Structure 1
Amino acid sequence: MEEVAAHESLKRSLSTKDLIIYGIIFMIPVAPVAFYGSFLQPANGMVALAYLVGMIAMLFTGFSYATMSHRYPYSGSVYTYVQQGTTPALGFIGGWGICLDYLLIPTITYLISASFGHELLPGVPAWAWIIFIAIFNTIVNLAGVNIVSRISWLLFGLQALVLLTFIALTLRLAFLGEIRPTTTAFYNPAHFNFHGVLQATGIVIVSYLGFDAISTLAEEATEPRKSVGRAIIGAIVGIGSLFVITTWLAGWVAPHYQSLNPATAFSQIINRVGGPVFTKFTDFVVVLSFGLAGGQEGQTAVSRILYAMGRDGILPRPLAYLHPKHRTPWAAIILVGIISLIFSLTLDQDTVSNLVSFGALFGFLLLNLSVVYRFYIRGKKTVLNTIKYLVSPLIGFFVSLWIFLSLAPAAKIVGGIWLVIGLIILLISTRGFRKPTPKLDL
């Protein structure tokens, strides 16, 4: 491959609809199939309420992203936004932190996909699924974000088919009188405990973290100042609505959640409404959705952040080299593919699950404060600006802080080590801050 200059631009081809679908697929509409059982006990069955609270909470950070993406329509996400809103050094630390999240997202999606794939085809070992998926996703990413987008649309269609079929079959059972509509997924008077709902919200909110990935494609969007912010809000509302409706209807099918096996809770519900054939098809879609959709888009997102850091010179410049034909950051894509493959073959799902939220939440904290600093403290203090640039981002900040503080100790320790490594890189690249921290020249 011929290395091309780092200053050449990415290919602009994505519409607002493409970005929304990208974000929704990144957050995986069929995610409750894999995670529903782990939410039941802390929420006392009120999983739909936990998803609804999580959606509302994440919207405030989404508004901060929309503000920044309109002002700074460039790749790099938190790295670029915090860098431009505050200081380049803080921007690097924020971007470095969120890289941990994005490096682990393909890992956890590969592990979940391999687990479901092994259940479908017991003769194929999980490691074989992981190797195939990692290589396939790397090839697709090298071919260009428009190919990733087309696959996203296809996988969105399959996931929509599963969810619409589930909804139709559930409504059919309700019409036949075999199940009763109930509000227990929102409010269970016999077991209501809002502390438990908030505890579950802290877990389910992980399902919303992928909306940030939309901002990494700003330089591949046709109208980034308008489309990125709209897509972020649209994706949060869209995926949140799907999560709420799906888990609400699951509560109709199994209102006595204590009888479900947490490891296979949603599969039991799927089997009840659609039988074994529909259950197998759902498992197949889960394999594709986690392994291809989640894995591809996680690799796409982190490679664009590394591309931005390489372009600025804070990380090695080869990370910003673009393929001469496809105009994709090929060095960053291959690096992420190798790291994801190694992690997936050496780490287990529980370990990765505890670590994956640290980087995103740390980035959210800095981003919300950057909006306050850049647009409120340094801007005009009108009533509207107070709401948009002070109240809203502070709500986003404190919601993120609350979830951040509730992370497992192991996640905080590993995340802290990761940030220290980033600080060492920053000190080396700036010679102990004796030279300016590299930044994007606007």
Structure 2
Amino acid sequence: MSSTRREEAPSPEVSEHGLKSDAIGFRDALIIGIASTAPAYSLAAVIGLVVVTVGVQAPAVLFASFVPMFFVATAFYYMNRADQDCGTTFSWVTRAMGPWPGWIGGWAICVTGILVVGSLADVAARYTYLFLGLDGAAGSKVAITLFAVVIIVAMTAVCVVGTELSARIQDVMIIAQVGALLLFAVVALARVFGGTAPEESLAPRASWFSPFAVPDASALIGGLLIGVFIYWGWESSVNLTEETENSESAPGLAAVASTVILLVTYLSVTTAVVAFAGVGTAREFADDDAILSTVATGVLGSPWDGLVVLAVLTSALASTQTTILPASRTVLSMARAGAMPASLGRTHPRFLTPHISTIVVGTLAIVWYVPLNFVSENFLFDTLSALSLMIAFYYALTGFACAIYYRHELLKSAKNFLFIGVAPVLGSLMLAYLFFRSMVDLANPGASYTGGSVFGLGVPLVIGLGFLLLGAIFMVLWRLGGHERFFGRRPEVAHPGATEGPLAQRETVGAPPEGD
């Protein structure tokens, strides 16, 4: 659409869900996809644990974790070509597999967002205090919790005001975190190869990047369970599909590209940390996200090490905001489809954003975070462990849905067979295996940060399966209340040539029926 047309238009174009069309472009969607993973914080949180699990093969584990993410990202790309619905997994799985799996897939997206937002805001609050030199506040649970709530409220407000504002804020924060991470990695590796690193430093080897070099298969699987979590979030760009220019291709391409950029970032930083600090030092930070800031002091010196602290801060802050986006859009889509109360499907008349669902997501995130943080901080850590179950669950559903929906198109070309059939199914099978393997590992009370158990099962497993079971109960209750419009849907199949056309579906699952 030309700039002249924009100036002459009395009002912005609106999508089926009442969202502002063409609010952001490909670059904005890409940045939001990267920011949603909180790359700096994710690395700080898991590098030590991955090194404990697999040693110098930590880069290999992060590379192996990338494979199912990339494969499932192709499913997001092709499903978005068929159906530009902000509900993503909810809408697509409903089309391909029916309303029941579609509903529970949408529920998993909503729950993951609500459960993790508080933890992200908590990290942002603590690192803000550290960056400002307010060590006393950084050690005060009350000060951190209050500031975290302020952050959640502020980021919720930003999401309500508009997608363009969200994108502009992310533009600034992504430079702060990715730029600082890459600077850290380059300087660290330069000092290792230049001979100015500490005695415990190690020269990187090719075997560090090979998953097959990990001697213990169980260790590799354990590392994959950790690695999958740090890639989670790249699909946020696709949740903004109705608000993105070239919505049938740009959001999906942004999702695929973001996984590749994350891979490069993760491998660079992880290799730099292991090479510069050595395995022994990295292992000391198995449960401490201060590893990056600590190693950065040795690499960059003061005050430049503050850039890495700033990177973790902005990473958590940016992800607090971008994590609200997919949860709120999924709620909006489900409400408009008749799968949730219709009031949740309202959009703001001025801002053209799902203000009701956004406020609900932000409020529930606070309700979950505040009391649990005061009762037991370890319980929040167990919540993060439980997220791996729901992440693997809805990603796997999406991959299977892609192959099922396009099943009549798979044999029409080698490209279709590989990228719409083989890749999504392989990615989903890998994630399904990790889902069940994670259930086994999390069932052990010893794997819980709290050390507690419920019915003899570890707390993370109870949280993960408990919320999926709660979703199933809500789904059944919603069905018993009627709602034939949604539950009466039947699985669909892509029309001939859908993989080549610019738009395969005119009406999305979450759109109101014609005549509304």
TM-score by length of 1: 0.91
The answer (yes or no) to whether the contact 1:64–1:371 under 8 Å persists in 2 is yes
For residues 265 and 189 of structure 1, do their structure 2 counterparts lie closer, same or farther at Cα, with a shift above 3 Å needed? farther
Structural RMSD (CA): 2.6
Q: Does 1:227 find its partner at 2:250?
A: yes
Q: Which stretch of the first structure deviates more once superposed, 181-190 or 50-59?
A: 181-190
Q: Which stretch of the first structure deviates more once superposed, 325-334 or 412-421?
A: 412-421
Q: Does 1:17 find its partner at 2:52?
A: no
DSSP-derived class of the 1:327 partner: coil
For residues 184-206 of structure 1, give each alpha carbon's deviation from its aligned partner in whole angstroms, at most 9, with x where no partner exists.
Answer: 74369998435423321210210
For residues 12-70 of structure 1, give each alpha carbon's deviation from its aligned partner in whole angstroms, at most 9, with x where no partner exists.
Answer: 22211111111111112313123321211102132211111111221111111111011
For residues 267-309 of structure 1, give each alpha carbon's deviation from its aligned partner in whole angstroms, at most 9, with x where no partner exists.
Answer: 332111112423333223312220x201000011101001111
For residues 188 and 15 of structure 1, do their structure 2 counterparts lie closer, same or farther at Cα, with a shift above 3 Å needed? closer
Q: Does 1:38 find its partner at 2:85?
A: no
Equivalent residue number for residue 273 of structure 1: 299
DSSP-derived class of the 2:278 partner: coil
Higher relative contact order (CA 8 A, sep 6+): 1
Letter in 2 for 1:234: A
The Cα of 1:259 is off from its aligned counterpart by 6.5
For residues 97-128 of structure 1, give each alpha carbon's deviation from its aligned partner in whole angstroms, at most 9, with x where no partner exists.
Answer: 22211212312212322343454423332112
- Map 1:405-424 to 2 at 5 A: 405-407=436-438, 408-409=442-443, 410-424=459-473
For residues 271 and 320 of structure 1, do their structure 2 counterparts lie closer, same or farther at Cα, with a shift above 3 Å needed? same
The answer (yes or no) to whether the contact 1:6–1:320 under 8 Å persists in 2 is no
The answer (yes or no) to whether the contact 1:103–1:336 under 8 Å persists in 2 is yes
401, 412, 415: which one aligns with 2:432: 401
428, 431, 437: which one aligns with 2:480: 431
- Map 1:3-402 to 2 at 5 A: 7-30=17-40, 31-120=42-131, 121-124=134-137, 125-174=143-192, 176-179=194-197, 181-183=203-205, 185-186=208-209, 192-257=215-280, 260-262=283-285, 263=288, 264-290=290-316, 292-347=317-372, 348=377, 349-376=380-407, 378-379=408-409, 381-382=411-412, 384=414, 385-402=416-433
The answer (yes or no) to whether the contact 2:15–2:243 under 8 Å persists in 1 is no
**Unpaired segments ≥5 residues, structure 2:** 1-13, 138-142, 444-458, 488-508
The answer (yes or no) to whether the contact 2:241–2:247 under 8 Å persists in 1 is yes
DSSP-derived class of the 1:368 partner: helix
Could you tell me how far apart the structure 2 residues matched to 1:218 and 1:84 are?
17
For residues 200-227 of structure 1, give each alpha carbon's deviation from its aligned partner in whole angstroms, at most 9, with x where no partner exists.
Answer: 1210210111112222111111111111
For residues 309-358 of structure 1, give each alpha carbon's deviation from its aligned partner in whole angstroms, at most 9, with x where no partner exists.
Answer: 11112211121111111111111111111111122223333122112222
Letter in 1 for 2:472: L
Letter in 1 for 2:59: A
Q: Which stretch of the first structure deviates more once superposed, 317-326 or 276-285?
A: 276-285
Paired residues in the alignment total 437
The answer (yes or no) to whether the contact 1:49–1:186 under 8 Å persists in 2 is yes
The answer (yes or no) to whether the contact 2:68–2:428 under 8 Å persists in 1 is no
The Cα of 1:395 is off from its aligned counterpart by 0.6
For residues 189 and 256 of structure 1, do their structure 2 counterparts lie closer, same or farther at Cα, with a shift above 3 Å needed? farther
DSSP-derived class of the 1:222 partner: coil
For residues 187 and 316 of structure 1, do their structure 2 counterparts lie closer, same or farther at Cα, with a shift above 3 Å needed? closer
For residues 225-244 of structure 1, give each alpha carbon's deviation from its aligned partner in whole angstroms, at most 9, with x where no partner exists.
Answer: 11122111100001111001
Could you tell me how far apart the structure 1 residues matched to 2:111 and 2:300 are?
39
Could you tell me how far apart the structure 2 residues matched to 1:405 and 1:379 are?
30
Could you tell me how far apart the structure 2 residues matched to 1:52 and 1:90 are?
30
Could you tell me how far apart the structure 2 residues matched to 1:122 and 1:361 are?
37
The Cα of 1:256 is off from its aligned counterpart by 3.4
Q: Which stretch of the first structure deviates more once superposed, 317-326 or 177-186?
A: 177-186
For residues 253 and 161 of structure 1, do their structure 2 counterparts lie closer, same or farther at Cα, with a shift above 3 Å needed? same
Identity %: 20
Could you tell me how far apart the structure 2 residues matched to 1:92 and 1:431 are?
14
For residues 391-438 of structure 1, give each alpha carbon's deviation from its aligned partner in whole angstroms, at most 9, with x where no partner exists.
Answer: 222211111112211322334433333233333333333337783425
